[in-house]
Each structure stands twice: as C-alpha cells, then as structure tokens.
Amino acid sequence: MVGIRIADPYRYVTLASGREIGCYTLLVATGVAYRTLAVPGLDRLTDRGVYYGAAMTEASACEGKQVFVVGGANSAGQAALYFADYAKQVSILVRGESLEASMSSYLLQEIELRDNIAVQTQTEVVGCFGEENLERLCLRESSTGTERSVEASALFIFIGAAPKTQWLPETIARDQAGFVLTGSDVKAHGWSLDRDPFPLESSVPGIFVAGDVRAASIKRVACATGDGAVAVSLIHQYLRAVR
C-alpha cells in the first residue's frame, strides 16, 4: 500500500501498481521498522544470540551468562533490569558519556542498586563472533580507540524504531514520533463527528489502527493480535452505523 484517498463515504487504498481499492473502512497495521546496527558478524547471528528488542523468551537461556544491552533509553534500562534477574552479569553499552540525559532517573536508581549491572559509556560493539550462536563481542572505547574481545551469550539491541506511516495522508493524525493516534487522543486533532471516536479509530472516521504502528501500543505480539481482534469488532459496529 502506498497511499490512502478519502472521498466520503469511501476510503481508497492505493497499491504500488497504482491501482485503487475502494472500501468503507480499513485497518492500518503496518508495524515499525527497527533501526539496525551495522556491525560485522551481527546479521548472521541475529536471533542466534543477537536480538532487536527485548526477546523475553530468551531470559531463561541467559541464566548465569554474560549479557550485553545496547542503548541508552528507557527500553534498554528496563531490559537490563529484567535480564539481571537471570544473567550473571548485564552490561549496558552506550556511545554517550552517561545515561542521565536519555534514561529516567527511577531506572538509573534501580540500575545503580543492582550489583550485576554495569554501565559502559563511550563504548560500542564493533564485531560479533560465534559459530552457531553468539560467543564473543569486540567492543571499542571511543575515547581511547582501544578494542577488546569479551565473552557474550546474548546481545539485546535497543536503538529505536520508526513507525511505517510515511505512506499515510496528513489527515491521519500522528504523535511526534509518527505513531498513529487513536480513540480519545484524536478528539483534539480535527475529529469532526458528533459521536466519539471508537477506541482504535484514527482521526479519519472508519480508518482503524492496530499493533505497533498505533501510538501508545505495547510493542508486543499479544498487544498487536489483541488490537486486531478488537478492531474487527469495532469495524462491524462502524459498518452498521454507516451503511
């Protein structure tokens, strides 16, 4: 899908071929694009010790092991605290000089209290090594240029994600990061009808949103599938009202 055109009561989805499909209502569930780390060896070991986001299912496999978390925002801090319950040692790797500017103070305080979490500032991953699974990382300290090889069982990467919303028209309101607003959040964004918006309805009536692309959604499979199921029910209610 490359675009949406509104001509009440119809919504037209434009396909990459240029063809349009008309409908009364549609559900946007285009997810997010995770930013990736360009490091030699990393692609080959992704999902084999290297993970984008918090792969909670991997926690038990981290029992007694060395775990690394890349990123300085709250998601990285929350993951480090979670994996610290299982791992022997969790190292948070950040390129900047400190975490203070990017992470909430409550997380910083909790991290400070944990003996098995270390914060390594001005440090980046420059190599990933392992036969079947991740075994070692090469880390570089940016202040000195010194490189060292460390044992690593898991590397969790939290360097951000961008919603796939560039193809949506301006009339579909989004938050500052580009995630689509829904429900009561759209009332201050050009909502024109007398009725309230449905919970997963965007600022354009009849266009519903589910999953990671939705502002304030929990970026997990269970949330995305739950949204999808709820959206189907809401779409039936919407269609009963407009037809």
Q: Where are the beta strands (DSSP E) in the chain?
A: 3-7, 10-14, 20-23, 26-28, 32-34, 50-52, 66-70, 89-93, 117-120, 123-129, 136-141, 147-151, 154-157, 161-163, 207-209
Nearest to ligand FAD of 158, 191 (CB atom):
158
Nearest to ligand FAD of 179, 198 (CB atom):
179
Residue among 41, 44, 33, 58 nearest 156 (CA)? 58
Q: How far is the CB of 210 from ligand FAD (least distance, A)?
A: 6
Nearest to ligand FAD of 55, 108 (CB atom):
55
Nearest residue to ligand FAD, by Cβ distance, number only: 211
Nearest to ligand FAD of 15, 118 (CB atom):
15
Per-residue CA distances from 99 to 73, 94, 108, 111 (Å) = 8, 8, 8, 11
Place of tokens 């739950």: 226
Per-residue CA distances from 210 to 146, 164, 172, 173, 233 (Å) = 45, 12, 14, 15, 12
Nearest to ligand FAD of 121, 228 (CB atom):
228
Q: How far is the CB of 81 from ligand FAD (least distance, A)?
A: 17
Q: How far is the CB of 165 from ligand FAD (least distance, A)?
A: 9
Cis amide bond preceding 9, omega within 30: yes
Nearest to ligand FAD of 54, 103 (CB atom):
54
Q: How far is the CB of 195 from ligand FAD (least distance, A)?
A: 26
Per-residue CA distances from 240 to 7, 24, 87, 208, 237 (Å) = 19, 11, 53, 15, 5
**Cα–Cα distance between 117 and 119 in angstroms, integer?**
7
Q: Which residues bind ligand FAD (CB under 6 A)?
A: 1, 29-31, 34, 51-53, 55-57, 164, 167, 211-213, 219-222, 224
